Amino acid sequence: MSGASVSLRSVDKSFAGRMVLNGVDLDIASGQFVSIIGPSGAGKSTLLRLVAGLDAPSRGRIELRATGRKADVRLMFQEDRLLPWRSVLGNVLLGIKGRKQDAGRILDAVGLQGRESEFPVGLSGGQRQRVALARALIHEPDLLLLDEPFGALDAITRAAMQLLLGQLLVARPRTVVLVTHDVEEALLLSDRVLLVKDGGIARDLIFDQPRPRHRGDPALAILKEELLDGLLTAERDLASVA
């Protein structure tokens, strides 16, 4: 499989004396798509930032492995973070030289052919997220980290972006870790869903149903109800602690 493998061993993370993650052990295989769900404040984005190297663990070890070289990691946020004074093409090529044709092909793949010279102000929210996705993918990362990338989009645009991401990963597989509050999104896209609760991984659901998956699949509906029950329980537990 293409992509980096990820290993966490006894990882803790605390902020101002508050333990957010406690003794997390996790292995993600090369080419696996993993979604992380959990209540707000459970540590989902913290876990993603640790894997990205944006924060350091308070204790424990994190290792990324790619074949024969240092793993290339790209992080995509809920906000598109485009530079408003740069064109669509300029944003995709930020920090890159000599790959204009590659950028054009990727923009074609995300449905923005002919929009290269436009500026972010003239694009819809979904189109800006497509630019952000193209900007991440042009680097051909070993590990793609997604922090609620479609959370601010309307339902129709979100569904379109989920479909697009799935199609792009079929064409060019890589390791992906997605933080999301949308259980259905996790089940549609992922090989594996992690439920984060009480500073650790409370549930690790692995399923081998091939992608693409369909929203009306009865098997997914059963899993969705099961995971929603887990989320609601986690929310109640957090509320009782607060």
Residue 202's domain comprises 5-72+191-241
Domain assignment present for 38? yes
187-to-36, 221, 224 alpha-carbon distances in Å: 11, 9, 7
Kindly indicate the confidence band of residue 235, based on its pLDDT and cuts at 50, 70 and 90.
low
Q: What is the pLDDT of residue 194?
A: 93
Q: Is 101 part of any domain? A: no
| Contact between residue 130 and residue 161 where contact means Cβ atoms under 8 Å apart | yes
Mean pLDDT, range 159-184, rounded to an integer: 89
Question: Is residue 186 situated within a structural domain?
Answer: no
Backbone angles phi, psi at 145, to 5 degrees: -110, 130
The tally of domains found in the chain comes to 1
Is residue 146 included in any domain, yes or no?
A: no
- Per-residue pLDDT at 1 exceeds 60: no
CATH number for 208:
3.40.50.300
pLDDT of residue 217 exceeding 90: no
pTM: predicted TM-score of the whole model, two decimal places = 0.89
Q: Is residue 88 part of a domain?
A: no
Contacts 24+ apart (CB under 8 A), 107-111: 107/131, 107/134, 109/134, 109/168, 109/171, 110/134, 110/164, 110/168, 111/164
pLDDT band at 228 (very low <50, low <70, confident <90, very high): confident
User: Do the domain assignments include residue 121?
Assistant: no
Tell me if 65 is assigned to some domain. Answer: yes
**CA–CA separation, 96 vs 139, rounded Å?**
9
| Beta strand residue intervals within 66-148, DSSP E | 73-76, 143-147
In a domain, 98, yes or no: no
Is residue 138's pLDDT more than 80? yes
Contact predicate 87/117, CB 8 Å: yes
What average pLDDT does this structure show over 210-220? Answer: 76
